[in-house]
Amino acid sequence: MTAIRLQINGAAIADEVLPRISLADYLRERHNLTGTHLGCEHGVCGACTVLVDGEPVRACLSLAVSCDAREVKTIEGLANDPVMKALRDVFHCHHGLQCGFCTPGMLISAHDLIRRGLAISEAEIRRGLAGNICRCTGYTNIIAAIAEAAAALAKGSLDAE
């Protein structure tokens, strides 16, 4: 076992983990943060995307021990985030989800695109979502939702602080 200290969704955590446990398994099994979905477990589908020190990371490819002294945010940790609220609302309005399996990872990737100002055009949004697979929606509604949220936030019609 290896001792780690990290922040998960703002809470300081001190724990001991097996060196080989993935961050996704650690979040799901130890902390019941089941919004981090496990799909391919090869880093291809994006369903397990979380933020580590503010950057999107595939939790299935990251080891929990690699997050020692780092900050991890899951979809649950962004529940009160104004950008995430805007994204959830427009995903709902645009029917940007069907089965919902990809949605947490898709929302975190979209949040990152908007935060970095990279959700300006459809082409940029498509490029930014290239690592997130959705087998249900065909992406059209997801892209429209992200574009609407980004435009509203850019105009200041939503508070993103």
In the chain, the domains with their CATH numbers are 2-77 (3.10.20.30), 80-155 (1.10.150.120)
**Joined tokens for residue 67:** 């997050």
What torsion, rounded to 10 degrees, do the Cα atoms 100, 86, 7, 46 define? 40
CA distance 26 to 13: 12
pLDDT in tens, 31-76: 999 999 999 999 999 999 999 999 999 999 999 999 999 999 999 9
pLDDT of residue 158: 59
Q: Model-level pTM greater than 0.85? A: yes
**Joined tokens for residue 4:** 């780690």
CA distance 56 to 37: 14
Half-sphere exposure in the Cβ direction for 96 (13 Å, CA): 27
